[in-house]
Chains A and B, each alone.
Chain A
């Protein structure tokens, strides 16, 4: 018989036996986030460095120190004399990893494998003495660590395989991309966030749905379908999400693998130097500063994607956020840190919405604020985020707009507060559009579905609602 497809209905997000019980804290003992995180990390490193399995999978909720883990694992593998290749998904992620490695261990010989395009890597890498850059893998042979994107690695041929690999953002990597690089390494540590956006394909891939190696599925689901015995770990603490956000994100998007916030109530505070002028944007800012969440609700209306009123409302909220002299107080420093444009991001579902917001911000004279789609905001972190709700003003709720990962990314980028701008009526829209995706045999059912997660988030946001008629 050919290999059978993955067992149906085995949820990738269901509780994992390899995770120590202590992750779900004992109700009598006080929860010590640092100790829990350290214990999880120790387990992961032990399996990676001394385990017998060819692969180790680590699930990491938003802001749980995934990058820190990757850097630490890379350093320990290098220290143990194991040649290491690192696979990341984007050039920005690769450059970021190189910089972090160099910061921790300036003497470590690192190779940055890059493409043949013009300007293929961050110029900051030129400042680092021990980082060698090349478009040819052969030039980088023998270095302790070689880092590149999955796309570039896929073109590497005719080299001695590496003993070890770290695959970063493995849940965002497609199965076919892993197929192209898996011949380059003997063993690997796969790290990623199962709650973020799944990889996608611009053409239909239904004909392979249910096959264990469906090329459009995520690399991790293929890996685990063929190697179910691999140890799986997860990081139990989100250092990014504040105490106000972690419970909601955990309940709505990770119902079977809960996590906690690394900080407690009151550890993070957001305040404004300029008092509210009573307008909608100012009221929602005050609500978000007090509670960590704010929903600025515009009157119900069906609109084109680039809803001019909603786009302008987003821009106004950002403008006021800057004008009111925001200051963020956190565990990172004694002093409050001024909330500057580079600490703010706007998230949208579509690229045309992002560019409409950019234009509206330019009209209001705002520069330096990141405006991007959920896909591109993955893995990024800001103090405050302003989100244009994916379902705002829509007449229908398609699978794209309902995708769990999209909302999860948008709702989990912030350290202090998240403000959602939305037309009224999304609850009713959801009720009119239950998920109707066809059931595919052999495909792992993902929990929760986007419909459920959207309702959970919406119910929570309703408690922080500010009505506004522009």
Chain B
């Protein structure tokens, strides 16, 4: 944790209220996000219990699996989920803009300009917490390899038609969420934690209810109100022992499981059994009515557990919308749009689902892309937001300065280029050493300078190195002028892309050679441990 974040947390404890870590919003919040609040069954990995999902805060679609151990009911749940999510995703696929892009021509190997489609906007999924993001990945993994009856008439448990497709989309969103600064799939807790510091531990910050309690606490004289509200959100129970603020899931509260859900499911199971053994039409009708009542009861119970989280996520969305968007967020959202468009194209081209594991080259490419995105995100947030910049200044990685003198100088080469010496005064204490490079943003592009020397306390000399044009005299406006106030950073603003990696078919011997394609991937063998 950075020093400024620690200070903000201390201040939050003292004031009893969360303190801002940012003055602008650093993530895109879509105008029409799809909020997805999933719940899972305790002790059954990958068995969803229910979900609230939808784009309208007033009208969530309620999906409940009355008996999660029943494979058919689970399938029906996934089919219903696909019915909600896929039309939402599809709704963004056709509104496109045409942009030009450089591509390498497959035949000639030359760089050519091609016109390609870029979706004008991208669908956005918001889940309550990181565990929710993980659950999206799990759902994606469990669905994308399923076979429908159409694909394979012999498959023992055919998936409903659109389920594998939903699995591919959820996998894509889960994977994209690993890219720093991306906004296709967001966790509400991550959004809030990026923009506010609370007075609780970072572990407690994963509790959406407690986190919102700190942020929404009244700024009154009675300090400590945030802490109390957070504690109530975390631990408070009603007279019957139920949590006042049910967990944001996907895991459920064990007390709820034991006292409410288990008896209700038992009633449901019994009603189903009775219905199956009904002997005549009259008793069957009665028993069917009993089954419906039991099912309605489970739906009510699960909905009651999810509804507070549903509204908490929408309150998060409102809180985020109240902050103005950082100016470089658009740039990162465009990358998200590219990501969405590229996956849309893969789906439309009929490509197979994402493989179970990345091959060596894909893994290396993803890692490199994420490292670039991380460095870029850190730089862009600091450039967008004076409060974030303050944190970097405190860490000695940036400084605010006023120009007090500019002296023209030129490089010692045959064609001298301008290398003006700029003397600046600063109250910050950057970690400067000999020839350390510093950067400032000039019309949105970085300009480099080199540290030359200190001239007494707080006064230092920089040599501007680039972006002054090709002429002997610098272009107008490209050299700092006396009196200018400039924020310099010791970190670069842009990131160079990594090197080109070999094609997967040319994976070298050090990395196991090319991936084998002659054998289809077979499922894991069943071991004795799988059969309890």
Contact = CB atoms under 8 A, between A and B. Distances in A.
Interface of A: 1-3, 54-55, 118, 151, 154-155, 157, 175-176, 178-180, 182-183, 188, 201-205, 207-208, 211-216, 219, 222-223, 226-227, 304, 351-352, 355, 358
Contact of B521 (A2, A175, A226): A2
Contact of A178 (B3, B500, B510, B515): B510
B108 interface: no
Contacts of B360: 179, 213, 215
A216 B431 CA distance: 29
B510 A222 contact: yes
Contact of B509 (A2, A208, A226, A358): A226
9 contacts: A3-B516, A176-B363, A180-B500, A201-B367, A203-B180, A203-B367, A216-B367, A226-B509, A227-B509
B349 to A, nearest CB: 24
Contacts of A227: 509-510
B508 A182 contact: yes
Given A176-B368, A183-B502, A205-B367, A226 B357 contact: no
B361 interface: yes
A208 B511 contact: no
Given A176-B367, A179-B361, A226-B512, A202 B396 contact: no
A22 to B, nearest CB: 30
Interface stretch (B202-210, B224-232, B309-317, B369-377): B369-377
Contacts of A1: 516, 519, 521-522
A397 B126 CA distance: 34
Contacts of B367: 176, 201, 203, 205, 208, 215-216
Contacts of A175: 364, 511
B439 to A, nearest CB: 14
A191 B170 CA distance: 43
A207 B501 CA distance: 20
Contacts of B363: 176, 208, 211, 213-215
A211 B356 CA distance: 12
A295 B238 CA distance: 57
B395 interface: yes
Contacts of A151: 499
Nearest to B368: A176
Given A182-B509, A203-B374, A204-B178, A2 B502 contact: no
Contacts of A211: 357-358, 363
Interface in B482-532: 498-502, 506-513, 515-516, 519, 521-522
A182 B357 contact: no
B274 to A, nearest CB: 45
A183 B508 contact: yes
A191 to B, nearest CB: 15
B511 A54 contact: no
Contact of B501 (A3, A118, A180): A180
Contact of A157 (B3, B358, B395, B500): B500
B359 to A, nearest CB: 8
Nearest to B179: A203
A167 B184 CA distance: 40
A437 B360 CA distance: 25
A351 B178 contact: no
A179 B515 contact: no
Contact of B510 (A155, A157, A226): A226
A203 B370 contact: yes
B511 A226 contact: yes
A179 B431 contact: no
A252 to B, nearest CB: 30
Contacts of A216: 367
Interface residues of B, number: 41
Given A211-B357, A213-B512, A222-B510, A179 B396 contact: no
Interface centre among B357, B360, B370, B374 (most CB of A within 10 A): B360
A202 B501 contact: no
Contact of A155 (B499, B502, B509, B512): B499
Nearest to B448: A118
A183 B396 CA distance: 41
Contacts of B433: 358
Nearest to B435: A119
Given A2-B521, A226-B509, A215 B364 contact: yes
Contacts of B431: 351-352, 355
A331 to B, nearest CB: 35
Contacts of A213: 359-360, 363-364, 511-512
A215 B361 CA distance: 9
Contacts of B368: 176, 215
A214 B374 CA distance: 19
A215 B369 CA distance: 12
B482 to A, nearest CB: 27
A327 to B, nearest CB: 30
Interface string B384-396: 0000000000011
A151 B500 CA distance: 11
Contact of B358 (A178, A180, A208, A358): A208
Contacts of B522: 1
Given A3-B512, A208-B367, 15 more contacts: A1-B521, A55-B510, A151-B499, A178-B511, A179-B360, A179-B508, A179-B510, A180-B499, A182-B508, A182-B510, A213-B360, A219-B510, A223-B510, A226-B512, A355-B396
Residue among B502, B509, B521 facing the most chain A CB atoms (10 A cut-off): B509
Contacts of A3: 512, 515-516
Contacts of A223: 510
Contacts of A178: 510-511
Nearest to B360: A213
A42 to B, nearest CB: 26
Interface in B450-500: 465, 498-500
B502 A179 contact: yes
Interface string B421-447: 000000000010100000000000000
A95 to B, nearest CB: 16
B357 A2 contact: yes
Contacts of B512: 3, 212-213, 226
Given A2-B357, A176-B364, A179-B361, A202 B510 contact: no
A119 to B, nearest CB: 8
Contacts of B374: 202-203
A183 B506 contact: yes
A188 B360 CA distance: 20
B262 to A, nearest CB: 31
A304 B433 CA distance: 23
Contact of B516 (A2, A155, A214): A2
Interface in B171-209: 178, 180
A1 B498 CA distance: 30
Nearest to B370: A203
